[in-house]
Each structure stands twice: as C-alpha cells, then as structure tokens.
Structure 1
Amino acid sequence: MLSQFRALMAGLTMAAIVPLAAFGQGTEVSFGGIRADTKQPVEVTADQLDVNQNDGTAIFTGNVIVIQGEMRLTAPRLQVEYGTEDKTEIERLHATGGVTMVSGPEAAEAQEAVYTVAAGEVVLTGDVLLTQAGSTMSGQKLVVDLDTGTGQMEGRVKTILLPGKK
C-alpha cells in the first residue's frame, strides 16, 4: 500500500518547479501546496509514546502521523523536543526511519526530517524525492520554508519536467 501511495504521489506533483531547474548543486524550488500555518496546533498519533522529563523529549513510535493544518507527515519514529525555558512549547520535531510529507497536491519523501516549529522550516535529508504536478525532483537535502512556500534542493539535484500540452 505504501508503494501505491508513493506511486500515486509521484504521479501527482511537480509543475511549479522553476523551469530551468535541471541539474545542479543547489536548486531553488517554489511550492504551491507545501505550506503550513505554523500557528496551528500540532497533532501527533502513534502506537507508543515514551516521555523523558529529564531531557524534555517525547518519542513517538509506530505508525506516526503528524498533522498541522493541511500538512501531514508520517514516519516510523518521531522525537519531539520541547523548549528549554517553556517545557510546553514544541521546539523541534525529528522524524526518522523513512518520512513522507504531504501538503495539498505536493509530496516529499526522505530518510529523515527535522521541523523547527518557530522558524517554520522543515529540513528533509537522505534520498529526497519531491513530486509536484506529475514532475519529480530528487536530491540529498531539501529545506522548505512553510510560511513562504519556497525551498532549496541540494546534493546532485535531478529534475524530470513534463512538457506542456499543445
């Protein structure tokens, strides 16, 4: 089922990529759908939760689903790091073990993702695959600004663009 989901997402999303983005060390990316209202609550669902009061972390494992507004992130493991001064404020979410992030018609996959909530930034690393409107882009690191809907792909970037209809 995951492979069907990945195939479906790969078939759905990538026309908004900058047309000249073919190959390079770093490529600017424009997103229409990978945005999130970072002021929305963050909902986490998982099979198990372990909390460590000493270091201010919570670890969710098993079928982890993170929802914030229209953004969805899934992974096998998620570590939530709380603020050093305010233990109720989420500082970072670190998802590992194969991550899928979906927002609107756009999706990204990677080995791991770090979401810094206050900055509204998600950094996906390790075999990153981004799909937008039927086109794809891959690289080793994707930094997404959820507030502006922009990002940058790095690490031997490869893009497949679909020609327009005539």
Structure 2
Amino acid sequence: MFAVGLIMAVPAAHAQQAERMTGLALSSDEPIQIESDLLKIDEEASKATFTGNVKVVQGETALQAGEMIVYYTKSGSGGSVASGAADIREIELFKKVLIQSGTQTATADAGNFNMADEVLVLTGEKVVLTDADNVFIGCKLTVLMKTGQATLDSCGGRVMIQLDPKSRPKK
C-alpha cells in the first residue's frame, strides 16, 4: 500500500513544495490485510467496494477510512480480485482517511491513489501531516511516488507548518 513520509518544507506562496517524502513508498512484496463491515465485488465493473470501518494493514503501515473503492484490471485468463489475480489500477478513499506509519500520520476527508502513475492525493477541509512534533496543514497533498516529491496546497488560504528543532536528525 503506502506509508506517510517526512516532509522537509520549502517556502512558497500558496502551496508548500516538499524536498522528498522518502517514507512514502509502495510495497508489493508484503501481504495486505483488509477488514471492513461489508465487501461488494462487481466483477463486470472490475471494482471492489469496502464499506464501514475499513482497515488496511501492510507491514508497519495502517490505513483507515469509512469507505474504500478498489478499481482493478483482471490479469491472465479471467482472473479476479477475489482470487488475487488482478492488478489494482486505482484506490479511492472516503469518509475520513487516516494513514499511519511509524511516527508519521496523515489525515484527510478523502484520498485517491493512482497506481499506474504512482500519484497519491489526499484532500479535505484540513489535510494534516505529522511526524513526531512536526505538523503540516493544508487542504490538498499531492505526492509523486516515483520521485518522492510532494506538494501541500492551501486552496486559497495559507499552508501552516509547525517545526520542532529537536526533531532534526542528529549529525
């Protein structure tokens, strides 16, 4: 799935450009555990909808949302998501999103992960990223997974950042 990584801030007017988000990464070699109140698979539409208290765990990364829709492409001869023979194209997250990995946390109202382009977008009235005592607040976080570059947008307001000097790596 994905993990939230540390943002190193660089000043900008209405968006905050991040240097790199090295903790934000895909892991295709670890098993994924998904729990929800209901799972509805629509093989014709190649989509699986998880609703109600959705929890996803992969390695040290955990994700929670009220609803998660997984769009997939059937691989091989008639494979399905239920058999594990499908490639995930896109994941949509709704109804309060929480992603945790180690000391890092991100919260948002909704999220979208485009697997083909490796782009994660978290949106909401208030998107909050924390790493230890460092806090980043905006309304839209876009992460380009291939490069690790991230942008935190203010959506007309201002990006807010609180940095704790004690959280800097020791030299």
TM bucket by the smaller chain?
0.7 to 0.9
- Kindly state the Cα deviation for residue 118 of structure 1 after the two structures are TM-superposed: 3.2
Find the counterpart in structure 1 of residue 45 from structure 2.
55
Cα separation, 1, equivalents of 2:163 and 2:58: 29
Is 1:24 the equivalent of 2:24? no
Find the counterpart in structure 2 of residue 138 from structure 1.
137
1:116-155 to structure 2, matched below 5 A, reads 116-126=114-124, 127-155=126-154
Cα separation, 2, equivalents of 1:120 and 1:95: 16
* CA distance 1:92–1:131, shift in 2 (3 Å): same
- Kindly state the Cα deviation for residue 157 of structure 1 after the two structures are TM-superposed: 1.3
Q: Mean Cα displacement is larger for which, 93-102 or 58-67?
A: 58-67
Identity, in percent, stands at: 29
Contact 1:78–1:95, Cα closer than 8 Å, also in 2:
yes
The structure with the largest helix share of the pair is: 1
List alignment gaps of at least 5 residues for structure 1. 1-12
TM-score normalised by structure 1 residue count: 0.76
User: How many aligned residue pairs are there?
Assistant: 151
- Kindly state the Cα deviation for residue 40 of structure 1 after the two structures are TM-superposed: 4.3
Contact 1:34–1:104, Cα closer than 8 Å, also in 2:
no
Cα separation, 2, equivalents of 1:149 and 1:105: 18
Contact 1:36–1:68, Cα closer than 8 Å, also in 2:
no
Cα separation, 2, equivalents of 1:39 and 1:114: 21
Contact 1:122–1:144, Cα closer than 8 Å, also in 2:
yes
- Tell which has more relative contact order, 1 or 2 (C-alpha 8 A, sep 6+): 1
Find the counterpart in structure 2 of residue 157 from structure 1.
159
Is 1:97 the equivalent of 2:86? no
Contact 2:10–2:16, Cα closer than 8 Å, also in 1:
no
Cα separation, 1, equivalents of 2:44 and 2:9: 49
Is 1:65 the equivalent of 2:55? yes
